[in-house]
Amino acid sequence: MIIGVCLLFFVATALCTILSFEAFELKFNKQYAAYEREKRRQIFAANMAKAEAKNAARKHPHAATFGATHVADLTHDEFRQRYLMPADGHLERVYNDNKAKLADANAKAHKKRAAVPPTWSWATKGAVTAINDQQQCGSCWAWSTIENVESVAILAGKATNTSIDLAPQQLVDCCDLSAGCNGGFPEGGYTCIEWEKGIETAAQYPYTGQTGTCQLTNGVAVAGSLQISGWTWASGLFDEHAMQAALVTSAPLSICVDASDWQTYTGGVFTGDQDPNPLSLDHCVQLVGYNETAPVPYWIVRNSWCAYHSASHSVSLDLTICFCCSGAMGFVRVHTARDVEANVRCGICSKHSHDVKRANCTCQVEKQMIHVALIVLLSSFLPTWSSV
């Protein structure tokens, strides 16, 4: 299966990813006040030194590479504060509160295993909308929710991937089950869409990248807004097989991961020796596919940091590592590790996938990878439709 992680940003060699500060400024159109430039130059130099060390330690030709990205002039603390969410033990709480539901989700998903092909991509099937940029706001949970509702609407025949553009800002401002730009999780987003009687379009409720005052009248979306009837776990905890089956037979999945090491990721697949903590979820994304025929099998994860990257905006996660969102790319590849010992935990699988009664999240593990995945998903989520 898949457990590793690799980002499809631009699969560059280690030599191409390390830039001079002047080249970095030019490539990413950076402009600093005179007093700020030297500070950012020093931070950038320190980050490039770390990236070079990581590149030198790569143990596989397809392993992740690191170098200059649009956030390479930030300290790691600044990166986490601006782009990630606090890792607050949500995974453990969800697991403890939903053991029976998660086990049931896995059992149902396993019954669909026969339908799982060696490769899959909802993006090539027209079920994935355009990549967006969450900006310096920890709203990835809202984007993961909205992206999956859009995909499920497309698959239900209610829209096309170019005609639907829903409003994550509505969730950022109005969802009391999350903390706006300070983080949240898809299950809260789906529930709020139910409570708010639908989700407005981005034109009706534009994205600002800041937590603002809720603009809904009496807390209800305008008449005619797209509605869902609920959501469900698409797969349970730590089960890549179930997640894969749910992905293929249902729809793209909402998942959450540990993206703490994505700041300087430039390509390749995250492998076991490059993995962060799978029990520390700080970023939510959309799982859209996988490839088990590649030299390093991987999951394909859609990210929401695309504005500053010139490549495909996708990340590759080694199926053995189960990674979900990659820093600054639209899609992420995660290495699979389906046949690894039971103690292997991939971030993708550790967080439940959500099915927006069809919104989801999933994970998988593969032989080649080793310990913990960078992404942690308790399960996958899917939204459920109601009549609109």
Q: What is the CATH number of the domain that holds 315?
A: 3.90.70.10
Chain segment 43-83, per-residue pLDDT in tens: 999 999 999 999 999 888 888 889 998 899 999 999 988 88
Catalogue the long-range contacts made by 338-341 (C-beta closer than 8 Å, 24 or more residues apart): 338/1, 338/2, 338/3, 338/240, 338/241, 338/244, 338/364, 338/365, 338/366, 338/367, 339/1, 339/365, 339/366, 339/367, 340/3, 340/365, 340/366, 340/367, 340/369, 340/370
Show the low-confidence residues of the chain (pLDDT under 50). 1-15, 308-314, 318-330, 332, 337-379, 387-388
**What is the pLDDT, as a whole number, of residue 282?**
82
**What is the pLDDT, as a whole number, of residue 294?**
82
Amino acid at 256: C
8: closest CA among 334, 380, 263? 334
pTM of the predicted model over 0.85: no
Rounded (to 5) percent helix, strand, coil in the chain: 30, 20, 50
Q: One of 140, 174, 175, 181 is an active-site residue; which one?
A: 140
Q: Which tokens sit at 192?
A: 């709020």
Residue 352 designated active-site: no
Q: What is the sign of the dihedral through the CA atoms of 131, 134, 140 and 145? A: negative
Domain count, the chain: 1
Q: What is the sign of the dihedral through the CA atoms of 138, 141, 143 and 146? A: negative
Contact 264, 49 (CB under 8 A): no
Other CB atoms within 10 A of residue 373 CB: 46
Residue 60 designated active-site: no
**What is the pLDDT, as a whole number, of residue 363?**
26
Q: What is the sign of the dihedral through the CA atoms of 15, 347, 294 and 234? A: negative
Q: Which tokens sit at 232?
A: 């469900």
Q: One of 283, 313, 354, 371 is an active-site residue; which one?
A: 283
Residue 283 designated active-site: yes
**What is the pLDDT, as a whole number, of residue 173?**
98
Q: Is 223 helix (H, G, I), strand (E, B) or coil?
A: coil
**What is the pLDDT, as a whole number, of residue 4?**
37
Count of alpha carbons within 13 angstroms of residue 210, beta-carbon side: 3
The b-or-e profile of 257-290 (16+ CB within 10 A means b, else e) is bbbbbbbbbbbbbbbbebbbbbbbbbbbbbbbbb
**What is the pLDDT, as a whole number, of residue 335?**
53
Q: Which domain holds residue 35?
A: 5-385
In sequence order, the 6+-apart residues with CB closer than 8 A to the CB of 382 are: 148, 152, 231, 232, 234, 246, 250, 251, 253, 254, 353, 354, 355, 356, 357, 358, 359, 360
Q: One of 55, 291, 303, 360 is an active-site residue; which one?
A: 303
CA separation for the pair 335, 186 (Å, rounded):
23
DSSP lists the bridge partners of residue 301 as: 287, 332
